[in-house]
Amino acid sequence: MNKSISCDIFCTVIDNFGDIGVCWRLARQLAHEHHLSVRLWVDDLSSFSRINPDIDQDQSLQHSNGVEIRRWLLSEDSLFAFVEPAQLVIEAYACELPKSYVTKMATQVCKPVWINMEYLSAEDWVAGCHCLPSPHPSFPLVKYFFFQGFTQETGGLLLERDLLARRDAFQKELHCQSVFWKTLGLPMRKPDEIRISMFCYENIFLPELFSTWAQSHTPVLCLVPEGRILPQVAVFFRRESIATGDVLQQGKLQVHVIPFVAQEKYDELLWACDINFVRGEDSFVRAQWAGKPFVWHIYPQKDNVHYKKLSAFMKLYCAELQGEATQALQCLWERWNGKSHRGEETQTISIHTWSVYFSFMEAFQQHAREWSMQLSGNNFVLNLLNFVRKIDKMQNLGCKSDLR
* Residues marked as catalytic: 19, 281
Is the CB of residue 321 less than 8 Å from the CB of residue 363? Answer: yes
For residue 195, count CB atoms less than 10 angstroms from its CB and return exposed for 0-12, middle for 13-18, buried for 19 or more.
buried
Q: Angle at CA 176, nearest 5°, toward 175 and 181?
A: 95
CA 357 to chain centre: 24
Give the contacts of 315 (CB within 8 A, at least 6 positions apart).
122
Three-state DSSP at 17 gives coil
CA 199 to chain centre: 12
Dist. CA 66–CA 63, nearest whole Å: 6
Spell 3-24 as b/e; 16+ CB within 10 A means b. eebbbbbbbbbebbbbbbbbbb
User: What DSSP assignment string belongs to 183-217?
Assistant: HTT--PPPTT-EEEEE--S--TTHHHHHHHHHTSS
Beta strands in 4-57 (DSSP E): 6-11, 37-42
Dist. CA 203–CA 195, nearest whole Å: 20
Dist. CA 143–CA 112, nearest whole Å: 10
Is the CB of residue 145 less than 8 Å from the CB of residue 120? Answer: no
